[in-house]
């Protein structure tokens, strides 16, 4: 990074935190991906399939002020284009997607190219980059560096999680399907319909499905729903009180109203008499 009287005077610690392009590049190229795409809502399905996400050509800042933690002050950094003496008078612009007819959201810089090397250093520090050491809460990241190795690991991990979820799904018994369905507050009662919904849930959200399958709270939450369905438990929407017969059990907080069964499950686990009340609910559900 070239230093000037009014530019790039960052601390040595921050300078050393910038990796060389060669260490980041794959085949001499560092690939960046934009994060500001939006869903393609084109009426033509083939067009949506061809370009599911649309990216506008975006001006990325090549001059900015960053917070240098070592100096404990803001420092102007940028890629100079014109210099008068030791003072930078203008900065090199960068438009992501400028050389493409249809921008797919990715652009690259080449190691060994002097200008690209300068851009890389600024982009590394830029708060507009996801993962920047100079991240700023006031600046929303709009691009990231593509790490193919990490992305591949994540993809493999997602595939393994899906495979595990599908294996668990195949071994579920009817009562387990009903428990998972009830814990998600599904309204169907027909086992075929419930199986279809739980299957879709496992395929779409395998990680969440596995957590729910393994959680001891799933059975409690399901039985709480069954208790409400059979009017063993009742809920007054005006007072937000949950009762069992004539006995008032708890008052649900406003912020917990969206997950009533979850709120009661938490009460069962944490209140002094929660477990004994739950045992009584189970007896009533079993017709004892």
pLDDT in tens, the chain (288 residues): 889 999 999 999 999 999 999 988 888 999 999 999 999 888 877 788 788 899 999 999 999 999 998 898 999 999 999 999 889 999 999 999 998 888 999 999 999 999 999 999 999 999 999 999 999 999 999 999 998 677 667 778 888 989 999 999 999 999 999 999 988 888 777 899 999 999 999 998 999 999 999 998 999 999 999 999 999 999 999 999 999 888 899 999 988 888 899 999 999 999 989 999 999 999 999 886
Residue 42 is predicted with a pLDDT of: 82
Distance between CA 161 and CA 165 in Å, rounded?
Answer: 6
Classify 161 as helix, strand or coil: helix
Contacts of 165 (CB under 8 A, 6+ apart): 202, 203, 206, 207, 209, 210
Distances (CA, A) of 248 to 29, 226, 235, 262: 66, 18, 10, 18
Distance between CA 156 and CA 150 in Å, rounded?
Answer: 10
Classify 135 as helix, strand or coil: coil
Residue 191 is predicted with a pLDDT of: 92
Classify 153 as helix, strand or coil: helix
Give DSSP secondary structure letters for 218-267: HHHHHHHHHHHHTTSSEEETTTTEEEETTEEEEE--GGGGGGHHHHHHHH
- What's the helix, strand, coil split of the chain in %, to 5? 45, 20, 35
Residue 49 is predicted with a pLDDT of: 79
Distances (CA, A) of 91 to 10, 62, 64, 79: 18, 7, 10, 6
Contacts of 41 (CB under 8 A, 6+ apart): 48
Tokens of 154: 């994540």
Q: Are 169 and 61 in contact (CB under 8 A)?
A: no
Tally Cβ neighbours within 10 Å of residue 144.
Answer: 16
Write 258-262 long-range contacts (CB < 8 A, 24+): 260/228, 260/235, 261/182, 261/183, 261/185, 261/221, 261/224, 261/225, 261/228, 262/221
Residue 21 is predicted with a pLDDT of: 92
Paired with 65 in beta bridges are 76
How large is the C-alpha radius of gyration of the chain?
28
Of 62, 57, 74, 58, whose CA–CA distance to 118 is shortest?
A: 62
């Amino acid at each position: 990074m070239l230093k000037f009287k009014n530019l790039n005077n960052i601390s040595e610690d921050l300078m050393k935190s910038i990796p060389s392009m060669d260490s980041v590049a794959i085949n001499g190229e560092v690939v960046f991906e934009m994060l500001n795409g939006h869903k393609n809502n084109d009426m033509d399905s083939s067009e949506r399939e061809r370009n599911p996400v649309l990216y506008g050509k975006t001006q990325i800042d090549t001059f900015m002020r960053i917070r240098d933690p070592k100096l404990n002050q803001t420092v102007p950094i940028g890629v100079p284009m014109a210099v008068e003496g030791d003072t930078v008078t203008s900065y090199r612009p960068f438009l992501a997607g400028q050389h493409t007819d249809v921008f797919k959201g990715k652009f690259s810089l080449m190691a060994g190219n002097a200008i690209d090397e300068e851009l890389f250093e600024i982009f590394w520090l830029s708060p507009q980059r996801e993962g920047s050491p100079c991240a700023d809460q006031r600046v929303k990241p709009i691009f990231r560096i593509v790490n193919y190795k990490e992305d591949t690991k994540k993809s493999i991990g997602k595939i393994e999680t899906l495979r595990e979820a599908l294996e668990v799904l195949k071994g579920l018994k009817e009562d387990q399907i009903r428990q998972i369905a009830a814990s998600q507050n599904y309204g169907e009662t027909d086992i075929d319909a419930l199986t279809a919904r739980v299957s879709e849930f496992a395929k779409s959200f395998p990680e969440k499905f596995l957590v729910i399958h393994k959680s001891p709270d799933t059975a409690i939450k399901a039985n709480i729903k069954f208790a409400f369905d059979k009017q063993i438990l009742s809920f007054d929407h005006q007072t937000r009180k949950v009762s069992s017969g004539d006995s008032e059990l708890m008052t649900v907080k406003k912020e917990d109203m969206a997950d009533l069964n979850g709120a009661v499950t938490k009460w069962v686990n944490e209140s002094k008499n929660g477990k004994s009340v739950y045992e009584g609910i189970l007896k009533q559900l079993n017709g004892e």
